Amino acid sequence: MQFIPISKLAKLVILALGALCAVTLPASAQSSPPAQPKSQACPNDDSDLKLPPGFCATIFADEIGHARHMVVAPSGVVYVNTWSGEYYGNDTPHAGGFLVALQDTSGGGRANVVERFGETVQSGGAGGTGIGVYKGSVFAEINDRIVRYSLAAGSLVPKDAPVTIVSGLPLGGDHPMHPFIIDANGAMYVDVASASNSCQLKNRTLKSPGADPCEELETRGGIWRYDATKTNQAFSKADRFATGIRNGEGFAIDAGGHLFVTQHGRDQLHTNWPDFYKPDQEATLPAEELVLLQQGGDYGWPECYYDPFVKKLVLAPEYGGDGKKAGLCASKLAPAAAFPAHWAPNGMVHYDGKEFPKHYRDGVFIAFHGSWNRAPYPQGGYNVVFQPMAGGRASGQCEIFADGFAGAVKSPDKAVHRPSGLAVGPDGALYVSDDVRGRIYRIAYRGGAVGDAAGVTLCPSATAPAGEIVAGPTGPPEGTHPDAGAAAALPEGATPEMVALGERIYRGQVGGAACTGCHGDKGQGSSLGPDLTGKKWLWSDGSYAGIKKTISEGVSQPKNYRSPMPAMGGAQLTADQVSALAAYVWSISHQRTATPDSHSALPIELAIPGQRIPGHADHPFRGDGDHDSGMMPITRSGVIPIS
**Between 596 and 483, residue with greater pLDDT:** 483
Cis peptide upstream of residue 213 (ω within 30 degrees of 0)? yes
- Say whether pLDDT at 631 is over 60: no
Contacts of 626 (CB under 8 A, 6+ apart): 560, 561, 562
Average pLDDT of the residues in 336-359: 97
Give yes or no for a contact between 511 and 505, defined as CB atoms under 8 angstroms apart: yes
Residue 339 pairs in a beta bridge with 288
Q: How far apart are CA 285 and CA 112, in angstroms?
A: 44
Q: How far apart are CA 9 and CA 3, in angstroms?
A: 10
- Say whether pLDDT at 518 is over 80: no
**Between 43 and 464, residue with greater pLDDT:** 464
Between 575-588 and 496-506, two packed helices, what is the crossing angle to 10 degrees? Answer: 90
Mean pLDDT check: name the lowest of 16-20, 95-99, 176-180, 320-324.
Answer: 16-20
- The beta-strand segments (E) located in 293-372 are 304-307, 312-315, 337-339, 345-350, 363-368
**Between 542 and 347, residue with greater pLDDT:** 347
- Say whether pLDDT at 427 is over 90: yes
Average pLDDT of the residues in 178-187: 98
- Say whether pLDDT at 452 is over 60: no
Q: Which domains does the chain have, with CATH numbers?
A: 55-458 (2.120.10.30), 496-639 (1.10.760.10)
Q: How far apart are CA 379 and CA 529, in angstroms?
A: 41
Average pLDDT of the residues in 442-459: 78
Angle, alpha carbons 630-635-639 (nearest 5°): 160
**Antiparallel, parallel or unpaired: β 233-234 and 163-167:** parallel
Q: Residue 113: which of 70, 154, 61 has the closest Cα? A: 61
Contacts of 623 (CB under 8 A, 6+ apart): 530, 531, 536, 538
- pLDDT band of residue 473 (cuts 50, 70, 90) is low
Mean pLDDT value across the chain: 83
Residue 131 pairs in a beta bridge with 140
Q: What is the pLDDT of residue 536?
A: 72
* N-to-C CA span, the chain: 52
pLDDT digits (tens, 9 = 90+) for 26-49: 332 333 333 333 334 677 788 999
Q: What is the largest CA-CA distance in the chain?
A: 98
Q: How far apart are CA 174 and CA 193, in angstroms?
A: 8
Q: What is the pLDDT of residue 65?
A: 95
Highest mean pLDDT among 217-221, 514-518, 613-617: 217-221
Angle, alpha carbons 110-346-57 (nearest 5°): 25
Helix locations, 388-537, DSSP H: 496-506, 516-519
- pLDDT band of residue 336 (cuts 50, 70, 90) is very high
Give, for 288, the enclosing helix (H) or strand (E): strand 288-292
Q: How far apart are CA 226 and CA 166, in angstroms?
A: 8
- pLDDT band of residue 498 (cuts 50, 70, 90) is confident
- pLDDT band of residue 513 (cuts 50, 70, 90) is low
- pLDDT band of residue 89 (cuts 50, 70, 90) is low
- pLDDT band of residue 637 (cuts 50, 70, 90) is very low
Q: How far apart are CA 216 and CA 221, in angstroms?
A: 7
How many residues belong to the chain?
643
- Say whether pLDDT at 488 is over 70: no
Residue 274: HSE in the Cβ half-sphere, 13 Å Cα cutoff? 4
Residue 235's Cβ-count burial label (10 Å; 0-12, 13-18, 19+) is buried
Residue 431 pairs in a beta bridge with 423, 442
Q: What is the pLDDT of residue 256?
A: 94
Residue 384: HSE in the Cβ half-sphere, 13 Å Cα cutoff? 29
Q: What is the pLDDT of residue 1?
A: 36
- Say whether pLDDT at 9 is over 70: no
Q: What are the CA-CA distances from residue 606 to residues 88, 94, 123, 172, 520 (Å)?
A: 9, 16, 16, 10, 11
DSSP-assigned letter for residue 127: B
Q: What is the pLDDT of residue 90?
A: 64
Instruction: Give this prediction's pTM.
Output: 0.74
- pLDDT band of residue 564 (cuts 50, 70, 90) is low
Q: Residue 80: which of 218, 587, 94, 579 has the closest Cα? A: 94
Mean pLDDT check: name the lowest of 419-433, 504-518, 533-547, 599-613.
Answer: 599-613
Average pLDDT of the residues in 107-126: 93
Q: What is the pLDDT of residue 276?
A: 98
Percentage of the chain lying above the pLDDT 70 cut: 78
Q: What is the pLDDT of residue 608?
A: 29
Q: How far apart are CA 129 and CA 127, in angstroms?
A: 7
Q: What is the pLDDT of residue 34?
A: 37
Residue 145's Cβ-count burial label (10 Å; 0-12, 13-18, 19+) is buried
**Between 309 and 592, residue with greater pLDDT:** 309
